[in-house]
Structure 1
Amino acid sequence: MTAYLSENGHLVHEAGDVPTARKILAERAIQVAVLDVNLPGEDGLSLCRTLAGGDGPAILMLTAQGDPIDRILGLELGADDYVVKPIMPRELLARVKALLRRRPAGMAVRKTSIYRFADFRLDLAARQLRAPNGAILLLTRSELAILGALLDRARQVVPREDLIALLRSDEADEMGRAVDLHISRLRRKIQDQTDRELIRTYRGVGYMLDAGVIGE
């Protein structure tokens, strides 16, 4: 995989375990991390969880585990894509390119990166959601992307298809379930801090953030 991606114009840094990967990530500006679940010692899911909580690279999980529950777990931990081995090098290259295309457009290209709504403050650049009581709520990359999309169209119903596109462009049924999971977790985190129902479900259509929004 390293050779194939390198031959096709990508600068690749290879790591055989999580400590080596962490060292590379600390020293280099990595845009996409391809993580194998079955690594010696600390596994890829653990590293995925750590990276998803910070301003890190897009994450592609690569594993021999083909169970749909394993895929949902990887996505729920913050992975942007999840593929099962064996995978053709050409498909891997296509998925890496897709992540590189989508990542800049996912959260950065906006009129603002700071939103205020219902006494919450979301700073996308800092990847922080501050609750009315001042507490910092930890959100995964997928949760941040979905909340940003809802804030961009506050008090409008955002189709599920649009939220699915933030995660991946194929396997719509599976990604639809992942979106529902992300929404459920996001709603629970927000509802623990307020009495208002801020994220509303429109069955068969999509979701809406029911609050006025001010951008900074």
Structure 2
Amino acid sequence: MAKEKILLVEDAEDILELVRYNLAKEGCQVSCVMSGEEALQAVRQTAFDLILLDIMLPGLDGLEVCRRLRRDPATARVPVIMLTAKSEETDMVVGLELGADDYVTKPFSPRVLTARIRAALRRSRQPDEDGQAEILSFGGLQIDCSRHEVSVKGETVRLTATEFGILLCLSRRPGWVFSRYQIVEAVRGEDYSVTDRAVDVHIVGLRKKLGELGACIETVRGVGYRFRAQHEG
């Protein structure tokens, strides 16, 4: 990671300084704020490559900030990694439902966080893992792999980098059943620590955004998910 602009939103000064120091060593340009209001102001002034967002913030909390980032076309596709001191699965699920790309639970290793950031940046910037221009069409659903764009019946659908990665993984092999582990491995790399519930939440969000064509993504009970290409809407 070199020269990437990262916004760090964290109200605990010790954690903020630790993360800032480690990212600066990696060559990142790190901007730090300590509240949700300051975060929204910062993204209006600067185009960031990634946002590290604490959930528990004074005033406007991280979940609401994430919600507003995803509603704004200017920040809808910027990778967001949620930081939370809570171990409850509920917080992680809510963050993912709001469009966060990843989450890290405190306390965390700086090396682990750096690896997660690298993975998120890689997913958002590599248009196609084969380096080829490719457009997949299934009835009213069109997936432009090189541009990371998806449209349903001609209308553009805004997906997070993780949602796009899952859709691409499934749609490239229609009819093939992927386990949750295989989906995580394909989208985020091997040895990525994530719960089955997190994959399910991303799938639910993806289906909602695809509308009636979300039925293309089928659940195979006890196994995982598959893409049904013959669905025409």
TM over 0.5: yes
Return the match for 1:181 from 201, 204, 209: 201
Do the aligned residues in 2 keep the contact of 1:58 with 1:99 (CA within 8 Å)?
yes
**Which amino acid in the other structure matches residue 144 of structure 1?**
F
Which residue of structure 2 aligns with residue 64 of structure 1? Answer: 85
Moved more, 35-44 or 119-128: 119-128
- Using the alignment, how far apart are the partners of 2:212 and 2:23 within structure 1? 45
Alignment partners' CA distance in 2, 1:104 and 1:118: 27
The answer to whether residue 29 in structure 2 is matched with residue 11 in structure 1 is yes
Alignment-derived partner of residue 193 in structure 2: 171
Is 1:193 the counterpart of 2:212? The answer is yes
The percent identity for this pair of structures is: 35
Cα distance 1:92–1:198, how it changes in 2: closer, same or farther (>3 A)?
A: closer
The aligned amino acid for 1:76 is E
Q: Give the secondary structure class of the aligned counterpart of 2:32.
A: coil
Q: Normalising to structure 1: TM-score of the pair?
A: 0.75
Asked whether the equivalents of residues 169 and 183 of structure 2 are also in contact (C-alpha less than 8 Å), the reply is: yes
Q: Which has the higher contact order (CA 8 A, sep 6+)?
A: 1
Instruction: Provide the secondary structure at the position in 2 that maps to 1:178.
Output: helix
User: Matches of 2:86 and 2:203 in 1, distance apart?
Assistant: 25
Gap change, CA 1:33 and 1:71, over 3 Å in 2: same
Distance 1:136 1:199, change over 3 A: same
Q: Which runs of 5+ in 2 are unaligned?
A: 1-18
Q: Distance in 2 between matches of 1:58 and 1:89?
A: 18
Residue 207 of structure 1 aligns with an amino acid whose one-letter code is Y
How far does residue 123 in structure 1 lie from its aligned partner after superposition?
4.8
Aligned to 2:164: 144
Indicate if the aligned counterparts of 1:78 and 1:141 stay in contact, CA closer than 8 A.
no
Q: Does 2:94 align with 1:89?
A: no
Secondary structure in 1 matching 2:107: coil
Structure 2 matches for 1:7-156, cutoff 5 A? 7-52=25-70, 54=73, 55-105=76-126, 107-109=127-129, 111-112=132-133, 114-123=135-144, 125=147, 127-130=149-152, 132=153, 137=157, 139-156=159-176
Q: How many residues matched?
A: 206
Runs (5+) with no aligned partner, structure 1? none
Alpha-carbon distance between aligned partners in 2 of 1:81 and 1:63, rounded to the nearest angstrom: 11
Deviation at 1:136, TM superposition (A): 5.3
Moved over 6 A (4+): none
**Contact 1:77–1:140 at 8 Å: present in 2 too?**
no
CA distance in 2, matches of 1:93, 1:162: 23
